[in-house]
Structure 1
Amino acid sequence: MAAVDSDVESLPRGGFRCSLCHVTTANRPSLDAHLGGRKHRHLVELRAARKAQGLRSVFVSGFPRDVDSAQLSEYFLAFGPVASVVMDKDKGVFAIVEMGDVGAREAVLSQSQHSLGGHRLRVRPREQKEFQSPASKSPKGAAPDSHQLAKALAEAADVGAQMIKLVGLRELSEAERQLRSLVVALMQEVFTEFFPGCVVHPFGSSINSFDVHGCDLALFLDLGDLEEPQPVPKLPPASPLLEDREEGDLGKASELAETPKEEKAEGAAMLELVGSILRGCVPGVYRVQTVPSARRPVVKFAHRPSGLHGDVSLSNRLALHNSRFLSLASELDGRVRPLVYTLRAWAQGRGLSGSGPLLSNYALTLLVIYFLQTRDPPVLPTVSQLTQKAGEGEQVEVDGWDCSFPRDASRLEPSINVEPLSSLLAQFFSAVSSWDLRGSLLSLREGQALPVAGGLPSNLWEGLRLGPLNLQDPFDLSHNVAANVTSRVAGRLQNCCRAAANYARSLQYQRRSSRGRDWGLLPLLQPSSLEHHHHHH
């Protein structure tokens, strides 16, 4: 028997555990398959690269607060090539300097005293940390801490620049995106074994252009015909014989038609199957939990090597088109992303967005898009204008709803609205604070508010729930995406908007402070300073 890899421990009952990948295998052949597999090899390479990096790096502290990475880099260049300088997150208390090769690091360590700007530097070999599979430790959306964020925004030239900077700090990096694609590819590979021809589609914030660090990975597992039986195309009656037979078949089909109850049971069984596949067959996945009772049933999961959390749903084709629609909105006008990121951060700080009775991020984003449709001239076209522009191959219908729109923004006319970001943001606050939320249905399809006096629109769309805030999904017209919002939260939304609109009229909002005071976006993003309200979370 070959020597077992140092990452592998033998389990009492004959199985093996790979401690690098947190994977248990039942027998030798499946262990060998794991050790030869892409995932294990990738982590082995990653670990080797980290180790080599560690052997070229030194740990530096004791430099003055105002020293930046460029100055450190310049100092250490005297000893040989410098590959990178990483400062600690907070205040420049220490740095890790990676030299270009081991010789350069030796040269640094062989000099007994270092000083920079009159300060004595403390330079030590970098401790070899135990290699951990790259998992993110930060909570959702937390990547740049508030201190970093505030510092970066304070230095921007104006509110518009602050908004653009905010996007840059919160959006996913290229590396984070690639990690997500790898997890999607891994899932695709495993699910294809069980459901040949299936497609794993990421949707939601991974593809809708409003991603933030640590956002969930939402996946739609499209099983094709297995999921939604397509109606059999009717043949034109060519001969009496054929007509006869067709009727006979239809009779049988209607006997077999499932009752919703059986359909529900089947859906739940399918969900459990997906849960078992995630649990047993996708390396690195843990904490798998099926939630069959949700409006859209899902299986939740976490993936240890990447640190990602997410969910898989079997029946969320509409959400896929919604995500693509949001992404198209961002492509149509460069002001969409800065506005949405800013308003999401603002709403979060005010305790307006989240789960339960609060606005979902999706609802808040649609509110911003609706606002942009209602400017004069409009910043974004209405959904029905987009539907009319859809090309030949772009006609899509899901569950009877029309989800057609162009896939490519370059074919569409850009907006002639030239308002700057700072002014659009201020307008959002004053507009929302004055809308009659309860008395109208905000329709992105029409780009206007439809009156609901006498419940008019909801008769048009069976099942639309009206309430204190009515915001219609762009495609599923019977869905009020804010149906969960209570009158208390809707009232707070308008009060917070009113306070923000007031603040936006001040010089503190409009001008960069020369005296190091908080200005522009900063007071809007700090947890409630403008509203004097009791918070009930």
Structure 2
Amino acid sequence: MNAPLESTLWDILGVIEPQRDDWLIRQRIVQELQDVVRTIPNLRGATVEPFGSFVSNLFTPWGDLDITVMLDYGSYISVAGKKRKLSLLEDVLRALKEKGGWWRLRFIPNAKVPILKFEKGCPAISGDISIDNLGGQMKSKCLFWLNQIDGRFRPLVLLTCKPAIFPPFHALYPTNVVDDLTGVRETAEQSISDLFHANIRKYIAGRSRTMNRSSLSELFVSFLAKFSTISLKARDFGICPFTGQWEEINNNTRWFPRTFALYLEDPFEQPANSARAVSVRNLDRIQEVIQRTQLAILSPSLSWIDIHPLLVKPELSRVILFRKQNQNSGGQMMQLQQQQQPQIRKHVHSLAPVIAARVQNARSENQLRGWRDGTRHIHELSSKPKQETASNNAVSKESNAKKWRKRGIQQQQRGDVFNSKQQLWRARSQQS
């Protein structure tokens, strides 16, 4: 295990972990949009529902908020045509302008899924509004459920390491999820949920499964190694999470005609390409950054203070330094913060306002427990004699595996609470 890298990854996770206020501000935005939608005659009975990283619990405090306005079709699933979606989004745009308090409104009619972009709240949260995006909602829930298998899913999603953390997607759901969104909505969603959870339980209980007990840093390094030649490999191969492997493009007729620089098949909606927006130039740049990062973090002389500027933006790097200095020098942190505040305030539209507020409003001990446990484990390992390390690593990795499974269950429980609130919003909207 690369101890400086492991420590740095936990430092980063400790800063980007959403807190209670991050959830509340997004919930308020959803509720305020619902209030606006109620005033639009053409959207009578419609419900406003979040999806994307917020629902799958993969968002950061400055991440976008995806929202869809679900039209009232009664109990049954139906989807508006593109022309109607465009017309309704124009209605929403006019209503938001009239209401005020919604900034940087921008209508994107030519996207595959037409959206209305916005900013809202303080600090400002950017987001996208779509119409009848039930498929997006279901994908978000499936991603959330995956966290039950392994708590490392949230900090580092990696489908194809050896031994695998996750099974091929077809082992969890054998068909296209979006194809099964038909009939009565509640029945369809429950059927998908039941099958997904049954297969997750089956996978977790499988005795023949070889557990992956890699540390977070080991997973990160293996990720960089796997994709360090992505631009070259993408010429002949596409990424297929449904089968859990690279597949030759010429052998997969579903990807014809070849029009994209990178194929990353959407496992929920095959054969749609999730990487369709990546150009050849983008792909070359991605490979270059991965290779540069890989070379830097594998340097034997690299310390934690050298690593985090390679992985995060300067504003976030400063906050990590503040936290480290606070641990080492106690009250000196406040003085350092005061010295850095003029610089931080210059980045009005950057991460700094969000992060600075989070640092100034110190969180409770429980909210930093995961970060501290991780760094404590690293320091304990590094302080032990070399002859004890091999045997103790096996024990600690077994403990880590149990810890990650426990975190996955905790995330699921929090998600169940969130889903209950979402159902309550939907019920209230229908009553009004």
What TM-score do you get using the length of structure 2 for normalisation?
A: 0.59
Assess, with a 3 A threshold, how the Cα gap between structure 1 residues 289 and 480 changes in structure 2: closer, same or farther: same
In 2, Cα distance between equivalents of 1:305 and 1:421: 33
Q: Which amino acid aligns with 1:426?
A: V
Q: What is aligned with 1:97?
A: none
1:299 is aligned, of 106, 116, 129, to: 116
TM-superposed deviation, 1:319:
1.9
Assess, with a 3 A threshold, how the Cα gap between structure 1 residues 277 and 439 changes in structure 2: closer, same or farther: same
TM-superposed deviation, 1:163:
1.4
In 2, Cα distance between equivalents of 1:333 and 1:212: 19
Offset from partner CA, 1:36-95 (integer Å, 9 cap, x none): xxxxxxxxxxxxxxxxxxxxxxxxxxxxxxxxxxxxxxxxxxxxxxxxxxxxxxxxxxxx
Aligned partner of residue 29 in structure 2, secondary structure: helix
Question: Percent of pairs identical after alignment?
Answer: 24
TM-superposed deviation, 1:479:
1.8
Assess, with a 3 A threshold, how the Cα gap between structure 1 residues 226 and 285 changes in structure 2: closer, same or farther: farther
| TM-align CA RMSD | 3.7
Q: What is aligned with 2:255?
A: 458
8 Å contact kept, 1:188–1:199 = yes
Task: Indicate yes or no: 2:73 matched with 1:225.
Answer: yes
TM-superposed deviation, 1:311:
2.3
Q: What is aligned with 2:84?
A: 266
8 Å contact kept, 2:178–2:269 = no
Q: What is aligned with 1:422?
A: 217
Q: What is aligned with 1:386?
A: 172
TM-superposed deviation, 1:219:
0.5
Task: Indicate yes or no: 2:23 matched with 1:206.
Answer: no
Task: Indicate yes or no: 2:157 matched with 1:309.
Answer: no
8 Å contact kept, 1:508–1:520 = no
Assess, with a 3 A threshold, how the Cα gap between structure 1 residues 408 and 374 changes in structure 2: closer, same or farther: same
Task: Indicate yes or no: 2:311 matched with 1:493.
Answer: no
TM-superposed deviation, 1:185:
1.8
Q: What is aligned with 2:243?
A: 446
Q: Which amino acid aligns with 1:207?
A: V
Aligned partner of residue 206 in structure 1, secondary structure: helix
Assess, with a 3 A threshold, how the Cα gap between structure 1 residues 230 and 458 changes in structure 2: closer, same or farther: same
8 Å contact kept, 2:71–2:132 = no
Q: Which amino acid aligns with 1:320?
A: Q
Offset from partner CA, 1:123-168 (integer Å, 9 cap, x none): xxxxxxxxxxxxxxxxxxxxxxxxxxxxxxxxx9642232122122
Q: What is aligned with 1:151?
A: none
Q: What is aligned with 2:339?
A: none
Q: Which amino acid aligns with 1:216?
A: D
In 2, Cα distance between equivalents of 1:397 and 1:487: 34
2:150 is aligned, of 290, 308, 333, to: 333
In 2, Cα distance between equivalents of 1:181 and 1:301: 15
Task: Indicate yes or no: 2:147 matched with 1:375.
Answer: no
Task: Indicate yes or no: 2:35 matched with 1:189.
Answer: yes
TM-superposed deviation, 1:525:
4.0
8 Å contact kept, 1:471–1:481 = yes
Report how many aligned residue pairs link the two structures.
296
In 2, Cα distance between equivalents of 1:407 and 1:181: 26
Bigger radius of gyration among the two? 1
TM-superposed deviation, 1:427:
0.9
Spell out structure 1 runs of 4+ moving beyond 6 A.
Answer: 226-229
8 Å contact kept, 1:438–1:467 = no
Task: Indicate yes or no: 2:63 matched with 1:215.
Answer: yes
TM-superposed deviation, 1:382:
1.8
Assess, with a 3 A threshold, how the Cα gap between structure 1 residues 264 and 337 changes in structure 2: closer, same or farther: closer
8 Å contact kept, 1:301–1:311 = yes
**Higher mean displacement: 448-457 or 427-436:** 448-457
Q: What is aligned with 1:284?
A: 101
TM-superposed deviation, 1:335:
2.0
Q: Which has the higher strand share?
A: 1
Q: Which has the higher helix share?
A: 2
- Runs of 5+ consecutive residues of structure 1 not aligned to the other structure: 1-155, 232-257, 340-368, 528-537
8 Å contact kept, 1:465–1:479 = no
Q: How does 1:67-78 map to 2 (within 5 A)?
A: none
8 Å contact kept, 1:438–1:470 = no
